Amino acid sequence: MPEKDQDRFIYCLTENDENRKLEEILRRQFHFSRKLIQKLKTGEHVWLDGKFSYLNIRGRSGQTLTIDFAEEEDVSVSPEDADLDLLFEDKILLAVNKPAGQVVHPTSVYRSGTLANAVTGYWKKNGLSLPFRPISRIDRNTSGIVMIAKNRYAHQQLAWMSQHHLVGKKYLGLVHGHLKSSAGEIALPLRLAPDSRIVRETHPDGQQSLTLYKVLEEYPYYSLLEFTLVTGRTHQIRAHCQAIGHSLVGDDLYGGQTELIARQALHAFHYSFIHPISGQPIKIEAPLPADMASLMPKI
Q: What is the C-alpha to C-alpha distance for residues 47 and 123, in angstroms, rounded to an integer? A: 28
Q: What is the predicted pLDDT for the residue at 152?
A: 83
Which residues are annotated as catalytic? Answer: 139
Separation between Cα atoms, residue 220 and residue 226, nearest integer Å: 18
Question: What is the residue extent of each domain of the chain?
Answer: 3-68, 169-268
CA angle in degrees (0–180, nearest 5) for 72-75-78? 165
Q: CA nearest 41: which of 2, 71, 19, 64?
A: 71
**Sign for the pseudo-dihedral over CA of 81, 271, 136, 73:** positive
From CA 64, how far away is CA 70, in angstroms rounded?
18
Confidence at 7, pLDDT banded by 50, 70, 90: low
Q: Is 130 helix (H, G, I), strand (E, B) or coil?
A: coil
3-68 in CATH: which number?
3.10.290.10
pLDDT tens track for 113-143: 999 999 999 999 999 888 899 998 899 999 9
**Mean pLDDT of the 58-62 span:** 88
Half-sphere exposure (CA, 13 Å, Cβ side) for 184? Answer: 10
pTM: 0.80
CB burial of 256-285 (b: ≥16 within 10 Å; e: otherwise) equals beeebbebbbbbbbbbebebbbeeeebebb
- Domain topology for 169-268: Pseudouridine synthase (3.30.2350)
Do 80 and 122 meet the contact criterion of CB atoms below 8 Å apart? no
Instruction: Pick the more confident residue, 50 or 158.
Output: 158
Of 212, 196, 214, 299, the closest CA to residue 254 belongs to 196
